[in-house]
A and B are shown apart, each in its own frame.
Chain A
Amino acid sequence: MRYLISFILLLSLQFNSFAHYPAPFWGYKIGEQVTDFTLKNIDGKMISLSQFTKAKAIVLIFTCNHCPFSIAYEDRIIALDKVFRKKGVQMVLINPNDPSIEAAKEDSFDEMKKRANEKKFNFPYLFDEKQEVFPRFGATKTPDCFIVKPQDKGFVLAYRGAFDNNKETAQVTEKYLENALNAILAGKSPNPAETKAFGCSIKCNDKSKLGK
């Protein structure tokens, strides 16, 4: 009987842990119109969100070179792009950090080029040099993922949050970003549409841009 009780207790604990996903508290909300932006890519060309009106969805990931969490997700981002580009999904990475800050010195434009070359990024890696784009999304850390979806006019936010639920690939049990993409491609709304993940704080001297 004791084992039965502890078994039930254990089960209820596990259910309890899937309770709910709290909404992040800053930036675009799900379903809200996302304004266009133009940023410099590592090849020197300017890239605008509005170039991707024909995509089924655009994955925007705020990420950087130095953060171990960002590095841990590089290969997963490349793998996701390989699968979903055929389905009409555009991958875009954006470095939001100010490289003049000591902790982010590895995130300079030159270092971005080097990393993209090493990892053979097959998609834009943009530099949010004026730090004006990440605050609109309410990104606070790297990596921080967003999916925007083209609509009749412009784009709307469809998902924000974590790539998946474990930094260790082998221990992942929830592929939030991939599930959200599959839902969007099937004409459904992602569920959950908002999650939270750990990461390195975005390096920015103007704290108001981080919602403070």
Chain B
Amino acid sequence: MNQILFRILLYLLCFEILSVRLVAQINTQIPINDSSFHSEVHWVDFEHFDSLYLNKENSKTQVFNFWATWCKPCVMELPYFLALEEKWKDAPIEFYYVSLDFPNKLEKTLLPFMIKNKMSSKVIVLDQKDVNSWIHFIHANWSGALPATLIKTREETLFYEDSFHSVDELEKFISKHLK
């Protein structure tokens, strides 16, 4: 009897170690170390994205810009977000750049893109496994097209599945909801 119990425990232990190791591969920070540029990217699955960022206790307004280096309209609007983030760096607002770049191409596409653009902002790579199990937790109205932007203030959640065409447009859009 004891032996059986021991075996079950051993099995569970192995399972636990294995699952921890699998999680560690994906839910880790990927450092970027270029000669003049240092930053990091956090590659996460949805559960981690949800607990660490999306539904984190936060008194600040959060802006989540969903983008990818392969998405042309995303790359076009990205400078507006970066400019506004810089302009509002002392305001109670946080910008997150949630990349849907393909995890097997991070080193080939996303990291060089960030180095080239000296993009030291908070970049999170959201793993796309089984989109249908979590997309509605980000926002019910998200049809799955990029770019998309989610703004969470203390009072409300705002979702916008389209591009912005100037810093001004983006600033007005966010300001309108910061009362």
Hey, which bits of chain A sit against chain B, CB under 8 A?
A: 3-4, 6-7, 10, 13, 17-22, 24-26, 66-68, 102-103, 140-141, 161-162, 165-168, 171, 173-174, 192, 195-203, 207, 210-212
Contact B146 A200, beta carbon cutoff 8 Å: yes
User: Chain A's nearest CB lies how many Å from the CB of B150?
Assistant: 15
Q: Is the CB of A200 within 8 A of B131?
A: no
Q: How far apart are the CA atoms of A173 and B70 in the complex, in Å? A: 24
**Chain B residues in the interface with A (C-beta under 8 A):** 9, 12-13, 15-16, 19, 46-47, 70-73, 76, 100, 102, 104, 128-136, 140-147, 161-163
| 16 additional A-B residue pairs with CB within 8 Å, beyond A3-B16, A18-B133 | A7-B15, A22-B140, A66-B72, A103-B76, A140-B143, A141-B144, A141-B145, A162-B144, A196-B136, A197-B131, A198-B100, A198-B128, A200-B71, A200-B72, A201-B71, A210-B162
Top 8 closest A-B pairs, CB basis?
A103-B72, A141-B145, A3-B12, A201-B145, A17-B133, A22-B136, A140-B143, A68-B70
A140, B130: Cβ atoms under 8 Å?
Answer: no
Q: Which residue of B lies closest to A22 (CB)?
A: B136
What is the interface of chain A mostly: helix, strand, loop, or mixed? loop
Which of B16, B73, B102, B132 is within 8 Å of A103, CB to CB? B73
- A21, A161, A212: which contacts B162 (Cβ < 8 A)? A212
CB distance from A117 to the nearest CB of B (A): 24
Which of A20, A162, A198, A210 contacts B146 (CB under 8 A)?
A: A198
Bound complex: CA A137 to CA B35 (Å): 50
The interface residues of chain A lying within 8 Å CB-to-CB of B133 are 17-19
Minimum CB–CB distance from B109 to chain A (whole Å) comes to 10
Pairs across A and B, CB under 8 Å, 10 listed: A3-B13, A7-B12, A17-B46, A140-B144, A166-B129, A174-B130, A199-B144, A200-B70, A200-B146, A211-B143
Which residues of chain B are near A26, meaning CB under 8 Å? 143
> Are B136 and A165 in touch, CB under 8 angstroms?
no
Bound CA–CA A24/B73 (angstroms): 22
How distant is the Cα of A21 from the Cα of B132 in the complex, in angstroms? Answer: 7
CB <8 Å contact, A173 and B144: no
Given contacts A13-B47, A171-B129, A195-B132, contact A4 B143 (CB under 8 A): no
**Residues of B contacting A17 with CB < 8 Å?**
46, 130, 133-134
CB distance from A193 to the nearest CB of B (A): 12
- B45 CB, min distance to chain A CBs, angstroms: 10
The complex places the Cα of A22 from the Cα of B19 at a distance, in Å, of: 29
Chain B residue at minimum C-beta to C-beta distance from A1 = B9
* B144–A198 touching, CB < 8 Å: yes
Pairwise interchain contact A24-B72, C-beta atoms closer than 8 A? no
A171 to B72, CA, bound (A): 26
The answer to whether B72 and A102 touch across the interface, beta carbons within 8 angstroms, is yes
Known: A17-B130, A165-B131. A199 touches B145 (CB 8 A): yes
Contacts of A21 in B (CB 8 A): 132
Which of A6, A165, A200, A207 neighbours the largest number of chain B CB atoms within 10 Å of its CB? A200
CA distance A199 to B136 in the complex (A): 15
* A4 x B161 contact (CB < 8 A): no
Complex Cα spacing A211 to B162, Å: 11
In angstroms, Cα B46 to Cα A195, docked, is: 17
Among candidates B9, B104, B131, residue contacting A168 with C-beta atoms closer than 8 Å: B104
**Given A3-B16, A13-B47, A102-B72, also A198-B134 (CB < 8 A):** no
Complex partner residue of B143 from A67, A166, A192, A196, CB under 8 angstroms: A196
Q: List B contacts of A174 (CB < 8 A).
A: 130, 132
